[in-house]
A and B are shown apart, each in its own frame.
Chain A
Amino acid sequence: DAGVTQTPRHEVAEKGQTIILKCEPVSGHNDLFWYRQTKIQGLELLSYFRSKSLMEDGGAFKDRFKAEMLNSSFSTLKIQPTEPKDSAVYLCASSLRTNNYAEQFFGPGTRLTVL
């Protein structure tokens, strides 16, 4: 029974690089979320897909962050170019939304360090 998987678990990047984080949701789930977690800001929503359609693109994160969901079982989050302030844990979550209720299941996260 595979949960949400994320790769890589750790990523170190130089300032200005392009990095791509990957997420595989729970099989059959139709909602997918990308969150960023920092000690100061807590959990911030970056992107939200429902049935592969982008519903929320993260407002303030739009310029350098791009999430894509090419199929229902795979999503990527691209950060281009990276900045030191992007250092954080990036969490992917998925849920099966029915009747407006949906329990979210989280992946283990990718810890990004930008030097």
Chain B
Amino acid sequence: GDQVEQSPSALSLHEGTGSALRCNFTTTMRAVQWFRKNSRGSLINLFYLASGTKENGRLKSAFDSKERYSTLHIRDAQLEDSGTYFCAAEPNMGYKLTFGTGTSLLVDP
């Protein structure tokens, strides 16, 4: 079936620095979503992309369907950015989201 490989599985950042999360897809995907799981376990929508890039504050995401990957860039990380981030992709044919395994981000002072 469709596979989504997310990396890294864990990431530690100092406050004010930045990094990128990446998801690779084994097949062509129609769209990708990025979520953050909040303290109550709910998935918070960060981005939905069918192509190109989107930016929201200190977060920026890109999706290349042809090259089969998506990235989530975090800049100027803050303590409240700590949490688990997931990508999820929708296949070209179909509607079921396939989730990555998540990235546990820890931002420390």
Contact = CB atoms under 8 A, between A and B. Distances in A.
A31 B95 contact: yes
B66 interface: no
A101 B43 CA distance: 19
B33 A43 contact: no
Contacts of A33: 95-96
A43 B31 contact: no
A47 to B, nearest CB: 11
Given A48-B96, A108-B42, 5 more contacts: A33-B96, A42-B99, A43-B99, A48-B95, A103-B31
Contact residues of B: prevailing secondary structure = strand
B106 interface: no
Interface residues on B, range: 10 to 19
A105 B30 contact: no
Interface residues on A, range: 10 to 19
A31 B96 CA distance: 11
B50 interface: yes
B95 to A, nearest CB: 6
Interface in A14-45: 31, 33, 42-43, 45
B32 to A, nearest CB: 10
Contact residues of A: prevailing secondary structure = strand
A102 B31 CA distance: 9
Contacts of B90: 102
Contacts of A105: 45
A104 interface: yes
Nearest to A48: B95
Interface in B1-58: 30-31, 33, 35, 40-43, 45, 48, 50
